[in-house]
Amino acid sequence: MEYLKTSKVSFRMVDLCRLTERYLSEEEVKKVYEAFLYAAVAHEGVTRKSGEPYISHPLEVAHTLADLHLDVDTLCAALLHDVIEDTDYTHNDIANEFGDTVADLVEGVTKLSYENFSNKYDAGMASFQKMMTAMVDDYRVVIIKLADRLHNVKTLSSMRPVKQRRIAQETLEIHVPLARRMGMNTLRHSLQMFAFQSLHPWRSSILSRWWQKCLDEQQDNHEKIMSKIQTSLNKELDKNSTVFHWEKNLYRLYEDRKQHKNPIHFSRDAISYDIRILTQSSQQCYLALGVIHNLFLPKIGSFKDFISVPKVYGFQALQTTVITKNQNLICIQIQSREMFQVAQYGIAAQWRFPQLDYKNKFNLAQSRLSAWLEQVKEIQQYTGDPEAFLADMKADFFLREVSVLTPKGEAKALRIGATPVDFAYAIHTDIGHHCTGAYIDGRRKPLNTQLHDGATVKIITNPNAIPHPSWQNFVVTGKARSAIRSWLTSYENSEYIEIGERLFKNTLNNVEKKLEDIAPEIIDTLLETLEITNIQQLFIEIAKGNQCSKLITHRLLETDNIESTNRTEQAFYIRGAKGLAVQLSTCCHPIPDDTITAAIIDNRGLAVHRNDCSILRHIHHKKQLTAAWDTSETLSYLVPLALRAQHQQGVLFEITQQFQQADIDIEDINIFGDKGSKRIEVLIRVTHTKELKKLVAKLNKLAHVSDATRIPQLSSPQVIT
């Protein structure tokens, strides 16, 4: 390692030691230095794309974390974070030298090998899930990963352009939201700007120069505004406040306005100048707000109180936009000094500023992070697939949020577009599973209603209710999505198991056998041959049509006489339309008292048809099962009707009045015809054919109606041109 004696690496290591000496003990600084030497040996002879020694990268990562005053184990892990991934050293090697904590942190950051996956994308998703799993146990894993990504995105210029764009886009989609969730806004902003510069180098450069020109042109005016604010605050707050210019987030500016084609959206007058005000306490924040609103005209709808209702990651501030006499927009954010420090460094503020008394301020950030980690843990439990896990996590990486209240006044921050179902799952998974309705601000609303900021939401539950598959079409939060998907999969599998077991037992019954008659070892041998894990999985495969119950019986009993018995095949009982693995076919709309047949549809379960349905002719007889209705429960079923009516005023009212008197709901209605007569088709809900026949008889007695009859399905609506 002769190069360390002369290269700038040695100077950076000296800087790191001097930085750590400010807050670590002599023994801890020595441990950091030993970790550096260990990493230098492990990466000896390896260089980065830029030509620098590879050790320069983990050294810069450790330096970023030392600026935050992270503890000794985190710094050691930062120096060693690529050792397991890129060298022959193992977890045990690091644990023996630096302890289990350091080794576990390094393991948590280590990406999975591409060799075990079909492509890099799959490996990346699995590595992300692995990192998030480690984060649940120790969130310092993510802090190391963010510092690692920061240095990588700073040094993208040595990469090929296509790789630069891929890494920059990934940074904006995953690492920037992660930093925000950790409350580390300084790190988030750096990641955002470096990624923006790599993804759109020309646009970011032009935008930066344009905005700097705007600031230069208005410098005198802005200084007068800040001086005016500072003077007024000094009178009210006894010189306990600080006023300063805040650097505008140009990436956010670009994202907010890139959809607008009108040049005015990038005019100087349409973009605000940003000012920060720091006070001694939250009470002084509100006093400062009063001073600002006395000085300038507040822009209507711009005020946000994130002190009373903090953002989802614990951010607190008062925000307002005011208009000066010169029609300049000034965006002002007011915080106590403690709020400001926590907002910039998030969960790392406890190390960066140990001398400050955070109390509720830091505890809020810690509690919000802990709540999110529990949510991540739940999503992991519900989601085994890395791709689905990444999608669910991205659903929680939102930049815009709404704050809604429980009836008791407790605030819940959700992503914009959230619905009462998202809100129910945010309270508790069981409340989500059993919700049946919601009141928003005291008014009953559908479950797919998007919640607005400040809404009070009351969830109605029923212990017998279950999640509906359609919920997946409108929920937006990761927890709701993963919980619903997991429940539906589990429920669907239980139905498949029940269907498959009944099909298999029916086949055994035809040869006068029972499942209990077959020796367990014979079943185990068959499962091993079929590469099926257990008997429940076999039932699922039978129900999905991937395995044939008759062939399975043949293999188990070693007989060819599966269908030779004279025993009558037992009917498969249909319990209604509430299941997920049994569908009532829309081509014929069967209802109780119809003679029916169930058909096995590959990977979809059972489709129930009326015996006279034309579709059955196209389904192989071996896929068809004798079926009958289980009428132990009273359920409603969809059925279509058609009737011919004369074109008379009030005839439609007469028809719908018959449905109302019979207490029958109309789900859909189509009207066809000309001036003389019209064909009316309706989709209604009934519980039995008797109810249907009674309704049809009443419709046929109407003076202007003829030929009311049941039809297999509704016709396609006519297109009016």
Active site residues: 85-86
Strands lying side by side in the sheet with 637-646? 666-673, 677-686, 637-646, 705-710
Q: How far apart are CA 333 and CA 279, in angstroms?
A: 11
DSSP string, 164-228: HHHHHHHIIIIIHHHHHHTT-HHHHHHHHHHHHHHHSHHHHHHHHHHHHHHHHHTHHHHHHHHHH
Residues ≥6 apart with Cβ < 8 Å to 374: none
Rounded CA separation 694/702 (Å) = 13
Sign of the alpha-carbon torsion through 399, 404, 409, 410: negative
3-state SS string over 476-501? CCHHHHHHHHHHHHHHHHHHHHHHHH
Task: Classify residue 519 as left (phi > 0), alpha (psi -120 to 50) or beta.
Answer: beta
In terms of Cβ atoms closer than 10 Å to its own Cβ (0-12, 13-18, 19+), residue 66 is buried
In single-letter form, the type of residue at position 226 comes to M
3-state class (DSSP) for residue 242: strand
In the 8-state DSSP scheme, what is residue 125?
H
H-helix segments, 248-359: 250-257, 282-295, 337-345, 349-352
Round to whole Å and give the CA distance between 482 and 583. Answer: 24
Let me know: does 414 contact 402? Beta carbons within 8 Å: yes
The CA distance from 111 to 141, in Å, is: 12
For residue 119, CA distances in Å to 1, 123, 269, 452 come to: 36, 7, 49, 42
Please, are residues 617 and 686 in contact by the beta-carbon 8 Å criterion? Answer: no
Q: Are 27 and 20 in contact (CB under 8 A)?
A: no
